[in-house]
Chain A
Amino acid sequence: MEVKQYDSREYDVIVVGAGHAGCEAALAAARMGQKTLLLTINLDMVAFMPCNPSVGGPAKGIVVREVDALGGQMAKNIDATYIQMRMLNTGKGPAVRALRAQADKADYHAVMKDTLENEPQLTLRQGLVDDIIVEDGVCKGVITATGARYYAKSVVLTAGTSSRGKIIIGELTYSSGPNNSLPSIKLSESLEANGFKLRRFKTGTPPRVDGNTIDYDQTEEQPGDKKPNHFSFETPDTAYLKDQLSCWMTYTNETTHKIIRDNLSRAPMFSGIIEGVGPRYCPSIEDKVVRFADKPRHQLFLEPEGRHTEEYYVGDFSTSMPEEIQLKMLHSVAGLQHAELMRPGYAIEYDIIEPWQLTHSLETKVVANLFTAGQMNGTSGYEEAAGQGLIAGINAGLRAQGKPAFTLGRNEAYIGVMIDDLVTKGTNEPYRLLTSRAEYRLILRHDNADLRLTAKGHELGLINEDRYQKYLVKKSEIERELARLQQVRIKPTPEVQDFLAEHHVAPLKDGVLASEFLKRPEVKYEDVVKFIGASSAEADRYVKEQVEIQIKYQGYIKKEEQSVERLKRLEAKKIPQKIDYNAINGLATEAQQKLTKIQPETIAQASRISGVNPADVAILSVYIEQGRIAKIS
């Protein structure tokens, strides 16, 4: 029997999906004063972590900080629910340091759900969206499976792996969203009917085992840090968790690999069952064994899923082998010989919308007032999803108010790098952020995310006045201390010479500026302060950190700033919308096709499209500069 539809309420913004993208999108829109509806297939899966129970890591951890600086929730949510915190890459430079936390999976969900429920302008509701309402190329709302028609000024879709999701375990395949949840079938059809180009991606997750049956003696412990660190710039060191849970490391071995090789014919990756494209950086264990045949072992990380569960995530052991084989594989691993399987690993295939159909604001070019974010755009990872969700939510909120879009450049945030990559190049596999994707990673550090973005968050209404004032104070303290160090001289006093002798370096001949002294590799900010005294107000550790980084790495920072200047000049050359590229004489055919497809917003973006060469860019700039542009009517 057909479900009878009814008109439900009207909102400013509707967000479909309450994963890591959807939560950020809905909170951002609501906090910008927009009446917001957040629909999810299952309320018990809000901010659910279907894969790794962790947040952060290289590049990703920086995104979490950026989300925080823009007034998003992810950092605060993990700070409230982590069971382990580690700073990674401490032996390397400041640009690549990254924080990673193990999350209590259940708590993470619960705290986020609670936050959503208590956000004044936000309504959280269970509902499966089947259709988007589109009139004259403009999205007006959504229709749920239960027949409710919701109208809104703008809509954000964050359907994740639910879109025509299909779980695969060996020979078994069934229609499902993540972790056996209800899949979303009709929404994909609705998108295709509205002209979207979709494609299939694949990802996977490893088995979970019962921690009581792990022999930890055969594994290596990986404890959390003693030294406090948090993701949010608002979480104080005093809140640092003392009682942290450890992760445990073990390895596969030749026996594991033999089991896998002997059963490759039953591996969906190789038997042809899986059609979707999987990520290179997150290969299944069977993929690793095949591709890196000469590697005698692969690392595995056993990660607790929470404080009130014994379930352990077997990291780096993603597999879609039949359950029978998964058991054999697990039992061949040191420490897991007697491990009880709690959930088998699986592969999941799902629809994504090809991300070149989006603009930098994450609005679709196909349907106006419709935004998409997260895994649906071809990315992978909670942090990538959150970053996009925040931007999509902000822009949906701005659109609802008739305000211009908000975007971030490649020089402003990893979020900007990610979105530009997606909309300019598209992606042929689930996209993960890597530090190597950023051209200016020394500028895009995790420690300066607040300095980069807090003012923007404040302007958007997502950072409250109190926090904004604190940011201004920190900023001015840094500037004052930098100025002081560039004025005060360190003289060759006996203390200074003793210090240098201790570090086996030549003594000073003359006085030097404190800033120059700090540039010496053996000198730390604290040492400088010993010789010149502390500033009037004792600087907090974040101010000290900034002063030290900005002085010590000044040469490299300047180099990157110079390239940023060049980028900005090209970014300033805007390309008008709806150019008829076929009418531009002299453009190579490939360039015409690519430009028509991507519709770059600036000359800089055009130059990043593969297949568009410098001559094409030159010709395009001429057309724009001369204002002689044929437009598609």
Chain B
Amino acid sequence: MPIVTEYDTIAAISTPPGEGAISIVRLSGDQAVKIAEHVFKGTNLLKVPSHTIHYGHIVDPETKRELDEVMVSVMRAPKTFTREDVVEINCHGGIVPTNKILQLLLAVGARMAEPGEFTKRAFLNGRIDLTQAESVMDLIRAKTDRSMQVALNQLDGNLQHLIHNLRHDISEVLVQVEVNIDYPEYDEDEITSKLMREKAVEVQARIDALLSTAQQGKILREGLATAIVGRPNVGKSSLLNYLLHEDKAIVTDVAGTTRDVLEEYVNVQGVPLKLVDTAGIHDTEDKVEKIGVARSRQALAAADLIILVLDASEPLTAEDQALIKDTQDQKRLVILNKTDLPARIDQSELAALGVKEDPILTSIKDQSGLAAIEQQIKDLFFGGIENRQQDILVSNNRQIGLLQQAKASLTDVISGLDAQMPIDLVQIDMTACWEKLGEITGENAPDELITQLFSQFCLGK
């Protein structure tokens, strides 16, 4: 039975996702310093004074590989944001390295923080004034319920099914062990160490398979890398902003104002997109812009999905034609934007250039045709692209963290059995694994095992 996890040490990336110069991964809870120390090479964090910052490296304790060069701040309770021990790891920006550090922390004992949980803790520990009580409570209510709901909604049906099966297999062993303990004189089959070990190894292999898809599962984890391309000022950034529903990229009418590659994450009809808004790809003498263009081309080549935006109110340029050609082998949406203005491109011209896709007619300015874009993204993803990656099911850090903990419990099961520990002790770790898996799917229920025990076995004096 899981106890309220209020006192676990939690971790999360505290800076917004994207390519900042640095990102911060934050830990809070009484194990915060210990957990950080476990993956930190440098000064012994357990011994440093409170509210100090330290240079060093994050190292995976298993592989001994260095992940990043970091600065780590150690702040001990109670003078911290949450009034618990807090550690902040300042690492290099970018979602990939930051995620790796977070995953490492989750693997060594931290729990993925729920949205708003740092604030919630600050509040629970009395740091935030009571005058804010009502609104914060509403927030807790909304956030906790919603985040759970969201987490569960995001759960892939297949993953849920797989985890469910894993749990079912484990619980059969668990229940059998319980029957052997509580009804020793009954002629029910005895679970032997050998059987239990086989089951642990088998389940671990299945968890490993899930985790390895997570390692490769770039698409679901980091989003379907989607590049919005087009020559300057065709409406790429407006499209991006529409998808983001907020103004993050700089959008002006002056060609070339989007100079950097921006990355944003967005959920379109259930499809996670990592949107790469590229600087307009065009020949330029502007030095800064040149760099941007080069990066855009890279991003383009690496993209899983291309959204090619053309300006319907102007004739096709050589640049348009080059982009059409460059992206013809990739999954692509072709958008004819600015249909609010008189059309200057004939769709037959596109066909002549080898465009097989039906272009989507839009006026982003007038918000027309946008639903069609979303629908096509969805159709493309669920109809084809995902086949390339169909085994990838584990998609977020919470799930990865829990799977790693479940796996670690199984490692304990196996080493316990190898040390000839009695099954009912090894059961402790087997149960922990079962509970961790249950947290992924949210199907932990009190007395679940006892109910199964009685439905499965004929027992009783």
Q: Please state if B140 and A436 are interface contacts (CB–CB under 8 Å).
A: no
> Is B185 in contact with chain A by the CB < 8 A criterion?
yes
> Is A239 in contact with chain B by the CB < 8 A criterion?
no
> Is B186 in contact with chain A by the CB < 8 A criterion?
yes
Give the chain B neighbours of A619 by CB distance below 8 A.
Answer: 137, 140-141
Contact residues of B between 403 and 448, Cβ < 8 Å to A:
416, 419-425, 428, 446-447
Measured CA separation A425–B459 after assembly (Å): 23
Contact with B along A558-593 (1 / 0, CB 8 A): 011001001101100000000000000110100000
Contact residues of B between 121 and 136, Cβ < 8 Å to A:
123-124, 126, 130, 133-134
Give the chain A neighbours of B172 by CB distance below 8 A.
Answer: none
From A94, A301, A435, A567, B185 is in contact (CB under 8 Å) with: A301
Q: How far is the CB of B418 from chain A (nearest CB, A)?
A: 9
> Is A282 in contact with chain B by the CB < 8 A criterion?
yes
Q: Please state if A434 and B178 are interface contacts (CB–CB under 8 Å).
A: yes
- CB closest chain-B residue, reference A93: B422
User: Which of B2-10, B199-207, B252-260 has 4 or more CB atoms under 8 Å from chain A?
Assistant: B2-10
Q: Please state if A442 and B185 are interface contacts (CB–CB under 8 Å).
A: no
Q: Please state if A626 and B130 are interface contacts (CB–CB under 8 Å).
A: yes
> Is B187 in contact with chain A by the CB < 8 A criterion?
yes
Q: By CB atoms of chain B within 10 A, which of A279, A436, A585, A614 has the most?
A: A436
Q: Please state if B186 and A299 are interface contacts (CB–CB under 8 Å).
A: yes
Measured CA separation A292–B458 after assembly (Å): 7
Q: Please state if A553 and B421 are interface contacts (CB–CB under 8 Å).
A: yes
Contact residues of A between 268 and 315, Cβ < 8 Å to B:
279-283, 288, 291-292, 295, 298-299, 301, 315
Give the chain B neighbours of A282 by CB distance below 8 A.
Answer: 460-461
Q: How far is the CB of A525 from chain B (nearest CB, A)?
A: 16
Contact residues of A between 417 and 436, Cβ < 8 Å to B:
425, 434-436
Q: Please state if A626 and B461 are interface contacts (CB–CB under 8 Å).
A: no
Q: Please state if A92 and B141 are interface contacts (CB–CB under 8 Å).
A: no
Give the chain B neighbours of A52 by CB distance below 8 A.
Answer: 461
Give the chain B neighbours of A222 by CB distance below 8 A.
Answer: 185
Q: By CB atoms of chain A within 10 A, which of B137, B182, B458 has the most?
A: B182
- CB closest chain-A residue, reference B121: A618
Q: Please state if B420 and A521 are interface contacts (CB–CB under 8 Å).
A: yes
Q: Please state if A435 and B145 are interface contacts (CB–CB under 8 Å).
A: no
Q: How far is the CB of A301 from chain B (nearest CB, A)?
A: 7
Give the chain A neighbours of B421 by CB distance below 8 A.
Answer: 93, 521, 553, 556
Measured CA separation A73–B10 after assembly (Å): 48
Q: Please state if A570 and B187 are interface contacts (CB–CB under 8 Å).
A: no
- CB closest chain-B residue, reference A279: B460
Q: How far is the CB of A207 from chain B (nearest CB, A)?
A: 14
Contact residues of B between 180 and 217, Cβ < 8 Å to A:
180-187
Measured CA separation A318–B454 after assembly (Å): 17
- CB closest chain-A residue, reference B4: A607
Q: Please state if A95 and B425 are interface contacts (CB–CB under 8 Å).
A: yes
Chain A: residues with Cβ within 8 Å of the partner, total of: 66
Main secondary structure of the interface of B (DSSP, over half): helix
Measured CA separation A158–B416 after assembly (Å): 45
Contacts A88-B184, A553-B425, A625-B124; is A436 near B3 (CB within 8 Å)? no
Contacts A437-B450, A622-B124; is A58 near B182 (CB within 8 Å)? yes
Q: Please state if B126 and A96 are interface contacts (CB–CB under 8 Å).
A: no
Q: How far is the CB of A95 from chain B (nearest CB, A)?
A: 6
Q: How far is the CB of B195 from chain A (nearest CB, A)?
A: 14
Q: Please state if B428 and A299 are interface contacts (CB–CB under 8 Å).
A: no
Measured CA separation A88–B185 after assembly (Å): 8
> Is A89 in contact with chain B by the CB < 8 A criterion?
yes
Give the chain B neighbours of A519 by CB distance below 8 A.
Answer: 419
Q: Please state if A58 and B184 are interface contacts (CB–CB under 8 Å).
A: yes
Give the chain B neighbours of A292 by CB distance below 8 A.
Answer: 458
Give the chain B neighbours of A340 by CB distance below 8 A.
Answer: none
From A560, A569, A604, A607, B428 is in contact (CB under 8 Å) with: A560
Q: Please state if B428 and A618 are interface contacts (CB–CB under 8 Å).
A: no
Q: Please state if B458 and A435 are interface contacts (CB–CB under 8 Å).
A: no
Give the chain A neighbours of B4 by CB distance below 8 A.
Answer: 570, 603-604, 607, 614, 617
Q: Please state if A93 and B424 are interface contacts (CB–CB under 8 Å).
A: yes
Measured CA separation A437–B137 after assembly (Å): 34
> Is A194 in contact with chain B by the CB < 8 A criterion?
no
Contacts A299-B185, A556-B428, A626-B133; is A621 near B124 (CB within 8 Å)? yes
> Is A439 in contact with chain B by the CB < 8 A criterion?
yes
Measured CA separation A249–B185 after assembly (Å): 10
Q: How far is the CB of B447 from chain A (nearest CB, A)?
A: 8
> Is A628 in contact with chain B by the CB < 8 A criterion?
yes
Q: How far is the CB of A467 from chain B (nearest CB, A)?
A: 30
Q: How far is the CB of A305 from chain B (nearest CB, A)?
A: 14
> Is B138 in contact with chain A by the CB < 8 A criterion?
yes
- CB closest chain-A residue, reference B147: A615
From B5, B6, B453, A436 is in contact (CB under 8 Å) with: B453
Q: Please state if B428 and A559 are interface contacts (CB–CB under 8 Å).
A: yes
> Is B50 in contact with chain A by the CB < 8 A criterion?
no
Q: Please state if B123 and A436 are interface contacts (CB–CB under 8 Å).
A: no
Q: Please state if B454 and A281 are interface contacts (CB–CB under 8 Å).
A: yes
Measured CA separation A360–B279 after assembly (Å): 68
Measured CA separation A249–B460 after assembly (Å): 15
Q: By CB atoms of chain A within 10 A, which of B124, B180, B185 has the most?
A: B185
Measured CA separation A59–B416 after assembly (Å): 24
Give the chain B neighbours of A588 by CB distance below 8 A.
Answer: 141
> Is B449 in contact with chain A by the CB < 8 A criterion?
yes
Contacts A95-B425, A96-B424, A436-B450; is A566 near B458 (CB within 8 Å)? no
> Is A316 in contact with chain B by the CB < 8 A criterion?
yes
Give the chain B neighbours of A613 by CB distance below 8 A.
Answer: 144-145
Q: Please state if B446 and A434 are interface contacts (CB–CB under 8 Å).
A: no
> Is B120 in contact with chain A by the CB < 8 A criterion?
yes
Give the chain A neighbours of B126 by CB distance below 8 A.
Answer: 625-626
Give the chain A neighbours of B187 by CB distance below 8 A.
Answer: 299
Contact residues of A between 502 and 524, Cβ < 8 Å to B:
519, 521-522
Q: Please state if B130 and A628 are interface contacts (CB–CB under 8 Å).
A: yes
From A89, A425, A604, B181 is in contact (CB under 8 Å) with: A89
Q: Please state if B458 and A92 are interface contacts (CB–CB under 8 Å).
A: no
Contact with B along A595-633 (1 / 0, CB 8 A): 000000001100110100111011101100110100000
- CB closest chain-A residue, reference B456: A292
Measured CA separation A163–B6 after assembly (Å): 43
Contacts A622-B137, A625-B124, A626-B130; is A436 near B182 (CB within 8 Å)? yes
From B130, B134, B425, B446, A556 is in contact (CB under 8 Å) with: B425
From A95, A281, A553, B460 is in contact (CB under 8 Å) with: A281
Contacts A521-B419, A566-B3, A566-B7; is A585 near B181 (CB within 8 Å)? no
Contacts A299-B187, A566-B3, A585-B134; is A92 near B422 (CB within 8 Å)? yes
- CB closest chain-A residue, reference B459: A281
> Is B318 in contact with chain A by the CB < 8 A criterion?
no
From B5, B7, B458, A288 is in contact (CB under 8 Å) with: B458
> Is B352 in contact with chain A by the CB < 8 A criterion?
no
> Is B21 in contact with chain A by the CB < 8 A criterion?
no
Measured CA separation A608–B446 after assembly (Å): 8
Q: How far is the CB of A16 from chain B (nearest CB, A)?
A: 28
> Is B288 in contact with chain A by the CB < 8 A criterion?
no
- CB closest chain-A residue, reference B180: A92
Measured CA separation A519–B420 after assembly (Å): 10
Q: Which residues of A contact B (CB under 8 A)?
A: 52, 58-59, 88-89, 92-96, 222, 249, 279-283, 288, 291-292, 295, 298-299, 301, 315-316, 318, 425, 434-437, 439, 441-442, 519, 521-522, 553, 556, 559-560, 563, 566-567, 569-570, 585-586, 588, 603-604, 607-608, 610, 613-615, 617-619, 621-622, 625-626, 628
14 A-B pairs whose Cβ atoms sit less than 8 Å apart in the complex = A58-B181, A92-B180, A281-B459, A283-B459, A437-B450, A521-B420, A553-B421, A566-B7, A570-B7, A586-B141, A603-B4, A615-B141, A619-B140, A628-B130
Besides A58-B183, A436-B181, 12 more A-B contacts (Cβ < 8 Å) are A92-B422, A92-B424, A95-B425, A437-B450, A553-B421, A559-B428, A585-B138, A608-B1, A613-B145, A619-B141, A625-B124, A626-B133
The 4 A-B residue pairs whose C-beta atoms are closest, nearest first, are A93-B422, A521-B420, A615-B144, A280-B454
